[in-house]
């Protein structure tokens, strides 16, 4: 399981978007003040044989569990 830390509080950034771009996942948290908090997660940090699409779907599911309105971003 992916350990998530340092994420903005759901109350401050309720919407999350996750895109698979090449060899990394791009997380964007859309804040209530109109700003965006972005995280880049290289797939190699998930393990040598990480499947990008599976990692994206797992991350989306985990963000929903945490209370975010999470969607897959193209």
Domains of the chain and CATH, by start: 15-73 (3.30.420)
Contact call for residues 51 and 23 (beta carbons, < 8 A): no
> SS3 for 51?
coil
Least confident of 31-35, 61-65, 70-74: 70-74
Per-residue pLDDT at 4: 77
**Mean of the per-residue pLDDT values for the chain?**
91
**Alpha helices, DSSP H only, in the chain?**
52-65
Contact call for residues 43 and 55 (beta carbons, < 8 A): yes
Q: In the chain, pLDDT over 90 holds for what percent of residues? A: 69
Alpha carbon distances (Å) from 17 to 5, 36, 47, 49: 16, 10, 22, 23
């Amino acid at each position: 399981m992916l350990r998530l830390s340092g994420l903005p509080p759901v109350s401050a950034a309720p919407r999350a978007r996750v895109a698979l771009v090449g060899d990394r996942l791009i997380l964007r948290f859309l804040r209530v003040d109109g700003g965006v908090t972005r995280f880049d997660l290289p797939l190699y940090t998930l393990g040598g044989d990480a499947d990008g699409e599976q990692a994206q779907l797992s991350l989306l599911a985990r963000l929903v569990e945490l209370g975010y309105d999470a969607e897959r971003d193209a």
